[in-house]
Amino acid sequence: MLEIKNLSMEIEGKHILKDVSITLEQGKVYALFGPNGSGKSTLINTIMGIYKQSSGSIAYDNHYLDDKQIDQITRLGISMAFQHPPEIRGVTLHDMINICLKRKQGTALDQKTKDLVTRLKLDSFLKREINVDFSGGERKRADMLQILLMKPKVLLLDEPDSGVDIESLKTICKELQDYITKNNASALIITHQGYIMDYIKVDLGCVLFNGSIRCYKDPREIIKDISTKGYAECVDCPNLTKDVGTK
Ligand code: ADP
Ligand code: MG
C-alpha cells in the first residue's frame, strides 16, 4: 500500500501541491483527473523522488520514501511512465530491455520478453535509439514495455492515453490490465478524457484541483461532472474532504 499524507511541494516559492493525502491500496486502480497545471505530474514526480516535498510523508510497504532516490524507489517496486517519454540517444530499445531486466548488455532476449515485444508491436524498434523519432503512440508502447519488464507493484502512469491512437491504446491497455490482474498490482493513472477506462477497470477516481486532492468517487461520474459543470464543481462534490483516503 502506498500512503501519501499531507504532502506539500513548492517550486521557487509557488505552492504546487498543498496538503495532498491519498492512499493507493494493493490491487486497486485509480484515475487522477485535474486541469492542466494542477500538479498531477508534480505529484507523480514527487512520489518517485524526482522532486522533493516541502512537507508531508510518502510511505510504501513500511518504508518512508521521503529521503530515497528514484533508483531506490524503483527497486522497492514503484515505477512511473512519463507524460513525455524522453529520447535517450546512444541507448537502443534492446539495451534498455536488458537494463530493465538487470541483464548484461548484449544479452539475447528470452522468449517471454520477445513475446511481449511482439504483442506491443515493437519488433522493428529493438535496434533503434529509445524514442528517437518515435511517434507518440510508439513512445507510449515502448514505455509500457519498459515498465512491465521492471515488474512493479505500483504503477504511476502519466497520461498513458494522450497522443495514442485507439489501436495502440487497446494494445497498451490489454498488457497493462493483464499485468495488474496477474500481479495484484495497483496503479494511479492520470487521464483527461478517461478513454483508458474503456479498456482498464478503474476502481476509483479523484480530482486534483488547485494543488489539492478533494474529490473521490466513481471515475465516470467525475468525467460527467467535469464535462457538464467543470472542475471547480467537482471539487464541491458531496465527498469533499482532503483527508478522505480512498473513500
Ligand atoms: P499537470 O501535470 O497537472 O498539468 P504539472 O504538475 O506539470 O501540472 O505542473 C503544475 C504547476 O507547476 C504548473 O503551473 C507548472 O508550470 C509548475 N511547475 C512544474 N514544474 C516546475 C518547475 N520545474 N519550475 C517551475 N514551475 C514548475
Ligand atoms: Mg502533467
Q: Which amino acid is at 147?
A: I
Indicate whether 241 pLDDT > 50. no
- pLDDT at 238 (0 to 100): 57
Q: Which residue, among 128, 150, 12, has the nearest Cα to 81 in the 3D structure?
A: 150
34 Cα nearest atom in ligand 1: 3
What does the pLDDT look like over 72-102, one tens digit per residue? 999 999 999 998 899 999 999 999 999 999 9
Nearest CA to ligand 1 atom 23: 11
DSSP per position, 102-146: T--TTPPPPHHHHHHHHHTT-GGGTTSEETTT--HHHHHHHHHHH
Indicate whether 57 pLDDT > 60. yes
What does the pLDDT look like over 35-48, one tens digit per residue? 999 999 999 999 99
Cell 502519466 found at: 158
Residues with CB under 6 A from ligand 1: 11-12, 16, 34, 36-42
- SS3 at position 34: coil
Indicate whether 242 pLDDT > 60. no
Nearest CA to ligand 1 atom 20: 42
Nearest CA to ligand 1 atom 27: 11
Average pLDDT, stretch 27-41? 95
Domain boundaries, the chain: 2-77+152-234
Q: Which CATH superfamily groups domain 2-77+152-234?
A: P-loop containing nucleotide triphosphate hydrolases (3.40.50.300)
- 3-state SS of 185-196 is CEEEEECCCCHH
Average pLDDT, stretch 168-193? 96
- pLDDT at 243 (0 to 100): 42
Nearest CA to ligand 1 atom 22: 11
208 Cα nearest atom in ligand 1: 3
35 Cα nearest atom in ligand 1: 3
Average pLDDT, stretch 198-202? 95
pTM above 0.85, yes or no: yes
CA 11 to chain centre: 22
Residues with CB under 5 A from ligand 2 (ion): 40-41, 83
The model's confidence at residue 27, banded by pLDDT at 50, 70 and 90, is very high
Which of 20, 32, 41 is the best mutation target for the ligand 1 pocket, counting ligand atoms within 8 Å of the beta carbon and taking the most? 41
The model's confidence at residue 245, banded by pLDDT at 50, 70 and 90, is very low
Report how far residue 245's alpha carbon sits from residue 1's, in angstroms, rounded to the nearest whole number. 12
36 Cα nearest atom in ligand 1: 4
Q: Which residue, among 21, 29, 24, has the nearest Cα to 55 in the 3D structure?
A: 21
> Cβ distance 83 to 136 under 8 Å?
no
Average pLDDT, stretch 150-178? 95
C-alpha cell at 86: 524522453
Average pLDDT, stretch 119-144? 95
- SS3 at position 43: helix
DSSP per position, 172-222: HHHHHHHHHHHHT-EEEEE-SS-GGGGTS---EEEEEETTEEEEEE-HHHH
Indicate whether 247 pLDDT > 50. no
12 Cα nearest atom in ligand 1: 25
Report how far residue 12's alpha carbon sits from residue 15's, in angstroms, rounded to the nearest whole number. 8
How many alpha carbons lie under 13 Å from residue 84 in its C-beta half-sphere? 3
Which residues are within 8 A (CB) of 53 and not within 5 positions of it... i.e. 6 or more apart? 7, 8, 9, 17, 46, 66
Nearest CA to ligand 1 atom 7: 41
Ligand 1 geometric centre to CA of 112 (Å): 38
Report how far residue 93's alpha carbon sits from residue 86's, in angstroms, rounded to the nearest whole number. 13
Nearest CA to ligand 1 atom 5: 39
The model's confidence at residue 23, banded by pLDDT at 50, 70 and 90, is very high
